[in-house]
Structures are given as structure tokens and as C-alpha cells.
């Protein structure tokens, strides 16, 4: 889902358009809805990953899981707000939404986005590091997750709007690999 939303939707968002105009678009609705679905799936995926790691990772694994789970839940909440609050606001009071977006400095509205995104990224990076150190998964899977978080910002000067797509392909591939191995392990006879 992460790959799809950042390859099929994000690059086609109108760059430089006023946020109220972008938020009123059908593309925004689809993109944010797909993002909410991806966050919901990752919420469940983090539980499965932690259950697989819990016997080997101790307190660092538990701490990484809590931050990843909480960050993913916050991200899901923010995506929900995008779909069910900001989009209707873009239709009914676009000037108010634009005023929120253009306010100088960091305010509560900005923190409402910054905290979920930061907690999500920090949590999943920590969970990927713990996964990597556990030795329970092929090394490439958590390495892809870690690389995916850094690729989008690093590639933005080169790829522009396509940088999130490139980073998401790598990130999504890491998550898919982890999910595949979790599923494969759980299908083995005698797996607990």
C-alpha cells in the first residue's frame, strides 16, 4: 500500500498549489485514504513483528515496538484527520485551512503533523534496527526499511516529486519482505 500510494498518487499532486486547493482534490482523498489504510495495516504488522522478536530482543525490542506502535497509531489518526476534517474544511472554509497552513512559526497545527510523523519514523527505525540485530530475519529486509526512510529526503534534490516514490518502493519492499518471512514462519508446523 505504501508503494502504491507514493508511486500512483504522490508524484501527481500539484506542486506549489495552495494546500486548500490540493486538499479539495479527489487525488488527495485517494492518497490520504490509502495512507490511512497503510498505517492501519502497519499497526497490525508491528504487533506480529514484535511477537516474533519478543523472545530475543528484551527491553530494547519492547521499547522499539511501543514507539513504532504508538507512532503508527498517531499517523493513522493524522491520516484520518486529513480525510475527514481537512478535506471537508477545504471545501467549506478554504480560507481558514489556508490560514492554518500559512501561519508563521510552529503552532499546534504543525505539531499535530510533526509529532506523528517523527514518532512513526523513529519507532520504525528503532524496530528495524532491533530486527536487524535479532538475526531472526534476512538482514536485507530491515536494511531496506532503514534505507527507505532516508532515501526520500536524500533523493529530493535529484528526483523532486518522485523522491517519495523511490523511498517508498525501498521502504515498502522491506516491510513486504518482513511480512513474507513472518507469514512463512507462522505457516511452519510446530510454530508458536
The secondary structure of residue 18, as a DSSP letter, is -
pLDDT value at residue 89: 94
pLDDT value at residue 161: 75
> How many other CB atoms sit within 10 Å of the CB of residue 57?
20
pLDDT value at residue 191: 52
CA–CA separation, 48 and 186 (whole Å): 10
Low-confidence ranges of the chain (pLDDT < 70): 186-192
pLDDT value at residue 188: 64
pLDDT value at residue 16: 76
CA–CA separation, 157 and 33 (whole Å): 27
pLDDT value at residue 2: 84
What's the Rg (C-alpha) of the chain?
Answer: 18
Amino acid at each position: 500500500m505504501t508503494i502504491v500510494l507514493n508511486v500512483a498518487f504522490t508524484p501527481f499532486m500539484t506542486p506549489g498549489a495552495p494546500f486548500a486547493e490540493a486538499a479539495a482534490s479527489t487525488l488527495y482523498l485517494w492518497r490520504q485514504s490509502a495512507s490511512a489504510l497503510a498505517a492501519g495495516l502497519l499497526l497490525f504488522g508491528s504487533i506480529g513483528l514484535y511477537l516474533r522478536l519478543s523472545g530475543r530482543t528484551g527491553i530494547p525490542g519492547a521499547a522499539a515496538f511501543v514507539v513504532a506502535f504508538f507512532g503508527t497509531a498517531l499517523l493513522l489518526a493524522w491520516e484520518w484527520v486529513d480525510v475527514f476534517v481537512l478535506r471537508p474544511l477545504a471545501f467549506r472554509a478554504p480560507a481558514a485551512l489556508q490560514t492554518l497552513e500559512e501561519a508563521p512559526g510552529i503552532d499546534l497545527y504543525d505539531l499535530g503533523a510533526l509529532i506523528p510523523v517523527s514518532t512513526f519514523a523513529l519507532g520504525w527505525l528503532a524496530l528495524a534496527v532491533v530486527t536487524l540485530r535479532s538475526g531472526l530475519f534476512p538482514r536485507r529486509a530491515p536494511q531496506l526499511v532503514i534505507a527507505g526512510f532516508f532515501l526520500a529526503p536524500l533523493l529530493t534534490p535529484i528526483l523532486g516529486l518522485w523522491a517519495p516514490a523511490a523511498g517508498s518502493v525501498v521502504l515498502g519492499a522491506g516491510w513486504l519482505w518482513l511480512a513474507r518471512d513472518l507469514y512463512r514462519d507462522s505457516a511452519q508446523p510446530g510454530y508458536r
